[in-house]
Amino acid sequence: MIARIYQPSPNAMQSGRGNSRHWVLELPRGSKGSIDPLTGTFRSSDPAAQLDLRFENLEAAIAYAKANNIPHRVIRPKTVKRVSRSYSENFDFDRKLPWTH
């Protein structure tokens, strides 16, 4: 199994970009695990299932994976083109789309 190196996407409920600059090395899960019959929660005896390593940059994550002989795959983040708009642009005289109520 192959480990994944990716940059997590920000929370959909927040507009900020905090904590989205780091890279995560997610180790492959060894065992399937099971569902606890009493509580209904998922449990696993694999300690790697609870471990995700965070790195400041992509090069550090790749260097760690290579140093520990971990086969890995890098998943690049999709770039989002953000258009900054202000509230006053809703009332511009030369609007592209008509404002009708």
- Residue-wise pLDDT for 48-78, tens only, equals 777 889 999 999 999 999 999 999 999 998 8
Domain residue limits, the chain: 3-78
User: Nearest Cα to 2, choosing from 63, 60, 74, 61?
Assistant: 74
The reported pTM is 0.66
User: Nearest Cα to 4, choosing from 31, 22, 28, 33?
Assistant: 28
pLDDT at 14: 75
With a cut of 70, say whether residue 100 has pLDDT above it.
Answer: no
pLDDT at 87: 84
| 55 vs 11: CA distance, rounded Å | 19
Task: For the domain covering 3-78, report its CATH number.
Answer: 3.30.160.190
More confident of the two residues 94 and 54: 54
Mean pLDDT score, 76-98: 79
